[in-house]
Amino acid sequence: MSAPVRIVVADDQEVVRAGFSALLGTQPDLSVIGAVADGAAAVAACREHGPDVVLMDVRMPVMDGIEATRRIAAADQAPRVLMLTTFDLDEHVYDALVAGASGFLLKDVTAERLFDAVRVVAAGEALLAPAVTRRLIGEFARLRPRPPSEVLESLEALTPRETDVLRLIAEGLTNAEIAARLVVGEQTVKTHVSRVLRKLGLRDRVQAVVAAYESGLVLPRLGR
């Protein structure tokens, strides 16, 4: 049996910290090794305990979740950071992803969704809640109105099927959902995703979403 995923929970609200810690503690493959109230304490906890995943609130005193994520992601063998936000229209989504977050979850997430999300990012994948992905689309449309030429050039290296996969990643679909949409096996999708990331020089699925919108491959749906 593999070792449990080691988790640090960072949130300035005690009820939230305690709630998430208690929920995660019900799973035999998940272990909360620290619960802290601000970003500076989260950075210190990562140095001390070396967790696999950090659940990080965006807004905290002393040091906010974005700066904490930036410092954590810059370290060697950095843990994956899963951002927690109260609102799907959070203006800090873009900044946190650039800082190195591997995904976002809303704080009203169900227990099962929380467990799955932690497991997904611990395995090296990236995760974005669909509602937050829609916000991300709007941010890219506003902040990056003209795609960098190097992004457009790199997309030319993709096959038509890989381009389809990138579009679906940008919609927030999982590998299983992409497989169902394209009527192929999930392992085939995993292969396509790996090739897309490699050809575009991307770290994970979050960066793939960035590339899809920066390039204009996927356009924002206004009014959502």
Kindly report, residue by residue over 176-203, the tens digit of the pLDDT.
Answer: 899 999 999 999 999 999 999 889 887 7
Per the model's pLDDT, the better-predicted residue between 135 and 111 turns out to be 111
Task: Confirm if 57 and 87 have CB atoms less than 8 A apart.
Answer: no
Check pLDDT > 70 for residue 5. yes
Question: In this structure, what token pair is assigned to residue 163?
Answer: 């381009």
CATH topology for the 146-215 domain: Arc Repressor Mutant, subunit A (1.10.10)
Domains 5-138 and 146-215 share a fold: no
Domain ranges of the chain: 5-138, 146-215
Number of Cβ within a 10 Å radius of residue 96: 25
Predicted structure pTM score = 0.69
Check pLDDT > 60 for residue 170. yes
What CATH class has 5-138?
A: alpha beta
Mean pLDDT, residues 135-143:
59
Spatial neighbors of 56 by CB under 8 A, at least 6 apart, are 10, 39, 42, 65, 68, 69, 81, 82, 83, 84, 101
pLDDT at residue number 113: 87
